[in-house]
């Protein structure tokens, strides 16, 4: 009679396992705690880049019912989820990178460096790291880059929420200092109303002077020619009005950009 065959534990999460599936599989492989990293503000033309790393408590992560991609949550739901994550996380750390550093070093360099600093700042060393979007070298622990990680992994979703809420708080503070730009509404992203205010008042120290749209407005205000891409050359008043209407509708629905 043949001997029994020992089956190895499975290390592939099922499609229906929910947001905690990857963390549970990594825990079975002995790679816990698992940290997630995400950022907020990469696409904005004003304000800082904020990177967060979060390690969730394995005993409490399934109870975090408010986790989701931060951009898909209303302001009130996102802030409630933030409080829940901060109260129950094993460790979390936030890195704030100012516009001057982005201009000097480049956005991608700041993003990668911020992710390394966020992991290094965690109070407990993770056994594994999940990142959103692209691989990050130099984390000193095993890591996996996940496409739309904030939609498929709880720790990345938690990091997305922490980064987004932290940055929104910063932008509301900057609105008090520079009310003419409307930072509290668009959070530094290139909405039509922001571009109108930028053209009228010029950039402030919180704008990213290396970004093409900011450079274009600086050149226009100085009377210099501004190259216009073919995609933007045909944009008329109707398209801009429609974009403005979408922006206002989002604000009324308590949605903000991520």
pLDDT of 236 higher than 90 = no
Architecture of domain 21-172: 2-Layer Sandwich (3.30)
Is there a contact between 46 and 181 (Cβ–Cβ < 8 Å)? yes
Is there a contact between 139 and 119 (Cβ–Cβ < 8 Å)? yes
Higher pLDDT, 69 or 97: 97
Q: What is the mean pLDDT of the chain?
A: 82
- Domain chopping of the chain, boundaries: 21-172, 176-252
Is there a contact between 91 and 122 (Cβ–Cβ < 8 Å)? yes
**pTM as predicted:** 0.81
CB atoms near residue 160 (< 10 Å): 32
Q: Which two tokens stand for residue 248?
A: 């206002």
pLDDT of 251 higher than 80 = no
**What is the arrangement of strands in the sheet containing 89-97, beginning at the earlier edge strand?**
89-97, 49-56, 34-40, 128-132, 143-146
pLDDT of 208 higher than 50 = yes
| 161 φ/ψ angles, rounded to the nearest 5 degrees | -65, -45
The pLDDT of 62-85, averaged and rounded, is 78
pLDDT of 207 higher than 50 = yes
CB atoms near residue 225 (< 10 Å): 8
If DSSP states are collapsed to H, E and C, what string results for 60-80?
CHHHCCCCCCHHHCCHHHHHH
User: 176 pLDDT band (50/70/90 cuts)?
Assistant: very high
DSSP secondary structure string, the chain? -PPPPPPPPP-S--TTS-TTHHHHHHHHTT--SEEEEEEE-TT-SBS-EEEEEEEE-TTTGGG-TT-S-GGGS-HHHHHHHHHHHHHHEEEEEEEEE-HHHHHHH-HHHHHHHHHHHHHHT-SS--SEEEEESS--S--SS-EEEETTHHHH-HHHHHHHHHHHHHHHHHHHHHHHH-GGG-HHHHTT---HHHHHHHHHH---TTB-TTSHHHHHHHHHHTT------HHHHT--HHHHHHHHHHHHHHHHTT----
């Amino acid at each position: 009679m043949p001997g029994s065959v020992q089956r190895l534990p499975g290390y592939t999460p099922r499609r229906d396992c929910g947001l905690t599936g990857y963390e549970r599989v990594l825990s079975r492989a002995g790679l816990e705690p698992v940290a997630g990293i995400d950022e907020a503000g990469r696409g904005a033309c004003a304000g800082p880049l904020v990177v967060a790393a979060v390690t969730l408590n394995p005993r409490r992560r399934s109870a975090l019912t408010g986790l989701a991609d931060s951009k898909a949550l209303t302001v009130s739901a996102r802030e409630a989820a933030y409080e829940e994550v901060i109260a129950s996380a094993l460790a979390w750390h936030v890195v704030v990178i100012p516009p001057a550093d982005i201009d000097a070093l480049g956005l991608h360099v700041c993003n990668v460096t911020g992710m390394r600093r966020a992991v290094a700042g965690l109070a407990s060393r993770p056994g594994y790291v999940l990142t959103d979007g692209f691989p990050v070298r130099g984390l000193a622990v095993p890591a996996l880059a996940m496409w739309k990680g904030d939609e498929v992994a709880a720790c990345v979703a938690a990091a997305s929420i922490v980064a987004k809420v932290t940055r929104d708080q910063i932008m509301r503070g900057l609105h008090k200092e520079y009310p003419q730009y409307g930072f509290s509404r668009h959070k530094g992203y290139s909405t039509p109303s922001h571009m109108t205010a930028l053209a009228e008042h010029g950039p402030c120290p919180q704008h990213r002077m290396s970004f093409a749209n900011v450079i274009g407005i600086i050149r226009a205000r100085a009377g210099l020619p501004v190259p216009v891409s073919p995609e933007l050359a045909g944009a008329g008043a109707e398209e801009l009005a429609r974009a403005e209407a979408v922006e206002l509708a989002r604000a009324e629905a308590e949605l903000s950009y991520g």
